[in-house]
Structure 1
Amino acid sequence: MTKPRLYSGMQPSADSLQLGNYVGALKPWKALQEEHDAFFSVVDLHALTVPQDPATLREKIRRTAAQYIAAGISPEKSTLYVQSHVPAHTELAWILNTITGFGEAGRMTQFKDKSSRQGADATSVGLFAYPVLMAADILLYQTEVVPVGDDQRQHVELTRDLAERFNSRFGKTFTIPKALIGGDDARIYDLQNPTSKMSKSAESMAGVIWVLDEPAVSAKKIMRAVTDDEGVVAYDREKKPGVSNLLSIYSSLSGRAIPEIVAEYEGQGYGSLKKNLAELVVAEFGPVRERAHELMADPAELDRLLSRNADRANEAAQTTLAAAYDAVGLLRRG
């Protein structure tokens, strides 16, 4: 029986992935690769929509790939590669650009938000076309399932629209993908500002748990997490955002239901919850951190592994790209 095709990726935008990336993406990916023909990419081309130092970006690409593997994304079970190693991503993106409406692209929420903050002159065409490149990423592999966060839902809808439009105009070429959106339990908030999503762009790093943090650093951040004055361990996102966030993290890493955890800490203060959560985070990230550093210590071998996976990705991508080129009437090279 053929496994359904899956595609997802993350940008190499920091030296380390953070807890939200781990809970919201890497842990689900690890499980999903068992039942899917999974393609996971380090989407380095997307990272170019903001200014990058070339040497730093190159290092971040390797570090992100190493953390994928260290967290359990298997280069044998899945196709794990670097986006720019497969030229068909940008080639298909150009074709899709030609069937994307200017107003359609301009209505993407993330583009509107970022461009309104940056101003027109500081906003690149790359940022404008970002969702079209994402559509190419997905459609290139005849993807059926796209695990993404809720903030990417609109981009997957655009991908579906473009696939249907292309198929209608030029004949059946692309599979119409479906988004697999993580639930609220996969949403991790900042430890110091628990009404905002944990993010690499947070104003203060005190509220962000990094996968590659030293154990003492992670524990210290959790012990200093914002809670409230009630001293009652209970889940209520509106009234108790800080405590609820700690419970969500605990549940996500332990696999235990939140009501069960709440019952365990009945009559106890926040100190016990924080202490045990810190121990859980340190135990979870310890092996990941160790394995990631092993991989990063041998960049040549890591590069060879990524190259082999890129060959697999390129083979699948070229089949789709050739079909798209034929469909629109481009002349094949003789």
Structure 2
Amino acid sequence: MKRAYSSLAAKSVRLLQNEVPKLPSDAVIFSMIQPTGDFHLGNYLGANRVWKQLQDHKVPQQTCLFGVADLHAITVPKLDVVKFKQLRLQAIASILALGISPEKCTIFMQSKIPEHSQLNWLLETITSMGYLNRMTQWKSKSEGVDEDQVKLGLFAYPVLQAADILLYGSTHVPVGEDQTQHLELTRNIARRFNKMYKGRYLVEPQTIFTPTKKVLSLNNPTKKMSKSDADPLSRIYLTDAPESIQKKIKKCLTDSISDNFYYDPENRPGVSNLINIVSGIQGKSVEEVEKDIAHMKDYNTLKTYVSDIIIEDLTPVRIRYEQLIKDPAYLMDVATKGSLEKARPIAQGTIKRLMETMGF
């Protein structure tokens, strides 16, 4: 696929609740997820739910690519290879369960396309260590760890992330707010490459921010919801049964004000997190949700209300996932066709042009 370079004036687009994304007719929409198990509510409202919106409103000339970042996953070694293979299939099943169609979108596995690694190396040669050392996720993950135990892959993975995006001429990347710095690095690398080789070879992508603010841990609403949290009650998975969702919401941390519920992230983070979740699922503003719950006078009523909304929204996803995960041959077929027949030809074209540009 041949694309002309397009210089994008704005660096980001923030979607409003229920807003139909208005993107250029030739937009290339790209996003990936790591195969670390089932999606949780933070993933879902942070970026994954927008994938389907973008798919459903795309015009024929637009391209949507949604991938499994299995090369990124090995920054933490996966020594149980059988489990790792299963996690990769679970990620494909989760993407399909969201309603992403392999007919409308390209669903692919990063490791099946060697050009990701090839472009990663080409871009690493022009990326400064100083910039990488300022990445906040790197700092948080390496803090307090002995230098000999910190692996190069963890330090340099933002360059691979940039390569993933730039490989397909991506113009728009839907992500959560914690990925802002990585998208800025991607634009910086593209700009640097274009300046070095005096041409417009790499697209500087725009960031698409979803309307839902960051979803926080249910038992510690000062941190974001994460699979790495040791407490399973801290997060809700898309595959959780209704009883599990009810239990987790019932036990979630709130505060002592039990007869007046309003959004105040600084002073009432637990309640605000629940309001934010409802806002994201229903596509309503925080103010609208506050009006809906204004009559509630106890936490039991509020938490039952929140649980019911989550269960209603996630049940179709869970049922579809349970059907898909029983058919690993189909999941692998989707990943293989999307990778080799749709994504890789684009990647090969990009690498060919860049290698020629660099004198190879």
Q: TM-score, structure 1 length as denominator?
A: 0.94
Q: Is the 8 A contact 1:251 1:257 kept in 2?
A: yes
Residue among 321, 329, 333 paired with 2:359: 329
Q: Secondary structure at the match of 1:117?
A: coil
Residue among 299, 318, 322 paired with 2:328: 299
Residue 18 (structure 1) aligned with residue 40 (structure 2): yes
Alignment of 1:217-256 (within 5 A): 217-231=244-258, 232-256=260-284
Report the equivalent of 2:19. none
Report the equivalent of 2:11. none
What 5-or-longer segments of structure 1 have no aligned partner? none
Report the equivalent of 2:161. 134
Misfit runs of 4+, over 4 Å: none
Report the equivalent of 1:216. 243
Classify 1:262/1:104 alpha carbon distance in 2 versus 1 (closer, same or farther; 3 Å).
Answer: closer
Alpha-carbon distance in 2 for matches of 1:119, 1:73:
42
Report the equivalent of 2:213. 186
Alignment of 1:144-159 (within 5 A): 144-159=171-186
Return the letter of the residue paired with 1:248.
Answer: N
For residue 102 of structure 1, report the CA deviation from its aligned partner: 2.2
Report the equivalent of 1:78. 105
Residue among 96, 102, 105 paired with 2:123: 96
Residue 6 (structure 1) aligned with residue 29 (structure 2): yes
Alpha-carbon distance in 1 for matches of 2:234, 2:142:
26
Alpha-carbon distance in 2 for matches of 1:260, 1:178:
29
Alpha-carbon distance in 2 for matches of 1:47, 1:110:
15
Decide which structure has greater helix share.
1
What 5-or-longer segments of structure 2 have no aligned partner? 1-23
Instruction: Judge which range, 79-88 or 173-182, deviates more.
Output: 173-182
Alpha-carbon distance in 2 for matches of 1:255, 1:181:
15
Report the equivalent of 2:317. 288
Classify 1:234/1:122 alpha carbon distance in 2 versus 1 (closer, same or farther; 3 Å).
Answer: same
Q: TM-score, structure 2 length as denominator?
A: 0.88
Report the equivalent of 1:64. 91
Q: Larger relative CO (CA 8 A, sep 6+): 1 or 2?
A: 2
RMSD of aligned alpha carbons? 1.4
Report the equivalent of 2:82. 55
Q: Deviations over 1:6-57 (max 9, x none)?
A: 11111111x2111000111111111122334211111000000012121111
Alpha-carbon distance in 1 for matches of 2:63, 2:265:
36
Return the letter of the residue paired with 2:130.
Answer: G
Classify 1:235/1:303 alpha carbon distance in 2 versus 1 (closer, same or farther; 3 Å).
Answer: same
For residue 176 of structure 1, report the CA deviation from its aligned partner: 1.4
Tell me the percent identity: 40
Alpha-carbon distance in 2 for matches of 1:149, 1:219:
26
Classify 1:189/1:132 alpha carbon distance in 2 versus 1 (closer, same or farther; 3 Å).
Answer: same
Q: Deviations over 1:118-157 (max 9, x none)?
A: 2211111111110110010000000111112222111111
Alpha-carbon distance in 1 for matches of 2:159, 2:129:
11
Return the letter of the residue paired with 1:100.
Answer: T
Q: Secondary structure at the match of 2:130?
A: helix
Q: Deviations over 1:99-126 (max 9, x none)?
A: 1122222222211222223221111111
Residue 29 (structure 1) aligned with residue 51 (structure 2): yes
Instruction: Judge which range, 289-298 or 265-274, deviates more.
Output: 265-274
For residue 270 of structure 1, report the CA deviation from its aligned partner: 2.1
Q: Deviations over 1:210-255 (max 9, x none)?
A: 1111211111111121111111111111111111111111111112
For residue 203 of structure 1, report the CA deviation from its aligned partner: 3.2
Alpha-carbon distance in 1 for matches of 2:221, 2:171:
34
Classify 1:251/1:29 alpha carbon distance in 2 versus 1 (closer, same or farther; 3 Å).
Answer: same
For residue 263 of structure 1, report the CA deviation from its aligned partner: 1.9
For residue 258 of structure 1, report the CA deviation from its aligned partner: 2.3
Instruction: Judge which range, 100-109 or 308-317, deviates more.
Output: 100-109
For residue 256 of structure 1, report the CA deviation from its aligned partner: 2.3
Q: Deviations over 1:163-186 (max 9, x none)?
A: 111111223211111222334x33
Q: Is the 8 A contact 1:26 1:73 kept in 2?
A: no
Residue 164 (structure 1) aligned with residue 191 (structure 2): yes
Alpha-carbon distance in 2 for matches of 1:124, 1:157:
23
Report the equivalent of 2:4. none
Return the letter of the residue paired with 2:232.
Answer: M
Alpha-carbon distance in 1 for matches of 2:286, 2:133:
40
Residue 313 (structure 1) aligned with residue 313 (structure 2): no
